[in-house]
Homo-oligomer: A and B are copies of this chain.
Amino acid sequence: MYSHGMSTQERLIESTRELLWERGYVGTSPKAILERAGAGQGSMYHHFKGKPDLALTAIRRTAEELRAAAEGALSGPGTPYERIEAYLRRERDALRGCPIGRLTMDPDVVASEELRAPVDETIDWLREQLAGIVEEGKEQGQFAQSLDAEEIAATILATVQGGYVLARAAGSPAAFDTGVRGLLSLLRPPP
């Protein structure tokens, strides 16, 4: 449960964020949200138009946090390769998966233009950041000229998102790390 200082609206948003991460949109009932938030029956409709509206607010906030965390690793010091490595190796709870990426497996999120938008935008933004860094690496001669920055950026993102799938299938975060090490060995500039 949440601190007494948190408003009902805040508790509803934070509970929804957690439940979306754990159970997805389809698996999250309004009842479960209210229970976790310790909020009364009418409170969801007092603050939000309904479950989709509350979920949209929750997803947007999660997306913002994810961007901030990724930005920290990507805009840090070091060569382009080192910044990509920092992003890939940043502390993650691989068994929990990505709170944004996991929403793509949710039929109701993918079917809704509105709910899918913040997911699409976040992944797009990440891809652009990564493509910019790969491009920099090409200019500095760290990466081969034959590589396409957009494609490599998509491969990096896919390795992260798919790494969660491997980790959750195996029930162990090590499977995530193995995929990341493989990608880093392919990207590593010649000494």
Contact = CB atoms under 8 A, between A and B. Distances in A.
A129 interface: no
A179 interface: yes
Interface string A158-181: 111111111011110001001111
A24 B105 contact: yes
A71 interface: no
Contacts of A182: 147-148, 150-156
Chain copies in complex: 2
Contacts of A187: 186
Nearest to A159: B158
Interface string A46-62: 00000000000000000
Interface residues of A, number: 54
Contacts of A155: 159, 179-180, 182-183, 186
Contacts of A178: 150-151, 154
A105 B106 CA distance: 9
A116 interface: yes
B154 A123 contact: no
A183 B169 CA distance: 22
A74 interface: no
